[in-house]
Amino acid sequence: MFEKKNIKDFFKDKKRIRNFLLSSRNREFLIFLLFLFVSACFWLLQTLKNSFETTISIPITLVNVPKDVIITQNPPANLRISIKDKGTILLSTILYKKFAPIAINFSQYENSKSIVKINTAGFIKRIISQLSSSTKILAIRPDTIEYIYSIGQHKKVPVHFNGNVSASMQYYVTDTFCSPESVTVYAPPHILKNIIEAKTKFSSFSNLSDTLRRTLEMEPVQGVKFEPQHTIVTFPIDILTEKMIEVKVIGVGLPAHKLLRFFPSKVQVSFLVGLHRFKYIHDSDFTIEVSYDQVVKNNTSKCHLELKTRPYGINHVRITPTDIDYLIEERK
């Protein structure tokens, strides 16, 4: 009965449609819908005669800003105004009213501190002029408009990544690069002198197994504008591999007539290093020193070994053995 072809044929036949709508049962239903619609309209009109409260937004613009002035903290984009009036007037205001922006003249509020605070109550006359005479203003938010500017004062500061980054198993983060490495900071003098770096917004990256690049915004600072306001952060990832080398044990702090011998004289140092740095790590990059004072105070025949220096970028360093024999001799 309700096949697609039957439905199309039904709507093509205007006579059948008219007969369907004007049948006694359907005619009664249509009359009911008409009265329901008229009742709803009367109810709505009656309801709209009552008073209601709502919130409207009026945009804010900053005008007549000199070319050498940098706005480091902008004023809010809109004023939120709570108003009260009859429903019909509020409905008309919301649907059809287009509010003119409230213009703030920069030169009118310019001062030596480069910080401007304006009480929004001073805008009431300009707001009322755009509303119906019967509309009441209940509240204006925010109650204070604040903006900060800088006249030519700026400096460059380095960019630092702010967050956590870690690689997955058998990988490691070799370094962190920011591009650009520095940004220009604009701020009033009393704020500018305390800015020594630009940090990115806090970010966290984990389980990395390939080089990652992300564009990150700068962490906002009140009264400060960064240019540019973002940086590209690169985290090169390298695979870890184990390397083993022999490092000579050196005695230090010996008197002129003393000689310190170690058995064995060289020990094995193993560590994890990135594949691209593997061939650049040599035994000369490590230093294992044993102090003469240490062995003199030692009550055993063995001394404990620790690395004095080691190259950057290696992990899980182990010395084998960690304790070796020593012998103090008179120097001939």
One domain for residues 147 and 161:
no
| pLDDT tens profile 224-260 | 899 999 999 999 988 888 899 999 998 888 888 888 8
Spatial CB neighbours of 162, under 8 Å, sequence gap ≥ 6: 199, 200, 201, 202, 203, 219
Is the per-residue pLDDT at 11 higher than 60? no
Range of the domain at 162: 154-235
Is the per-residue pLDDT at 9 higher than 70? no
Enumerate the H helices of the chain as residue ranges. Answer: 4-12, 14-21, 24-48, 87-96, 106-109, 124-128, 189-192, 292-297
Domain-ending residue, one of 235, 270, 286: 235
Nearest in space to 315 (alpha carbons), one of 239, 212, 235: 239
One domain for residues 93 and 117:
yes
Phi, psi for residue 111 in degrees, rounded to 5:
-145, 175
One domain for residues 221 and 252:
no
One domain for residues 244 and 227:
no
The whole-number pLDDT of residue 2 equals 44
One domain for residues 322 and 259:
yes
One domain for residues 293 and 220:
no
Tokens of 206: 């984990």
One domain for residues 119 and 177:
no
State the CATH number of the domain containing residue 199. Answer: 2.170.120.40
Burial status of residue 137 (CB atoms within 10 A of its CB: 0-12, 13-18, 19 or more): middle
- From residue 307, alpha-carbon distances to 84, 174, 176, 249, 302 in Å are 77, 22, 26, 10, 17
Q: Is residue 224 helix, strand or coil? A: coil
| pLDDT tens profile 270-305 | 998 888 888 888 999 999 988 888 888 877 788 888
Compute the distance between CA of residue 174 and CA of residue 238 in angstroms, rounded to an integer: 7
Q: Which amino acid is at 126?
A: R
One domain for residues 173 and 96:
no
The pTM assigned to this predicted structure is 0.59
Is the per-residue pLDDT at 21 higher than 60? no
Quickly state the pLDDT bin for 177 (edges 50, 70, 90).
very high
Is the per-residue pLDDT at 266 higher than 60? yes
Compute the distance between CA of residue 245 and CA of residue 324 in angstroms, rounded to an integer: 17
The whole-number pLDDT of residue 31 equals 66
Share of the chain above pLDDT 90, in %: 32
Compute the distance between CA of residue 256 and CA of residue 131 in angstroms, rounded to an integer: 98
One domain for residues 275 and 319:
yes
Share of the chain above pLDDT 70, in %: 86
One domain for residues 161 and 113:
no
Domain-ending residue, one of 151, 173, 198: 151
- Say how many domains are in the chain: 4
Compute the distance between CA of residue 120 and CA of residue 140 in angstroms, rounded to an integer: 7
- How do strand 78-86 and strand 51-63 relate by DSSP bridges? antiparallel
Domain-ending residue, one of 86, 119, 151: 151
Is the per-residue pLDDT at 206 higher than 80? yes
Q: Is residue 30 helix, strand or coil? A: helix
Is the per-residue pLDDT at 25 higher than 80? no
One domain for residues 193 and 263:
no
One domain for residues 244 and 298:
yes
pLDDT winner (highest mean) among 24-38, 104-118, 154-168, 256-270? 154-168
State the CATH number of the domain containing residue 116. Answer: 2.170.120.30
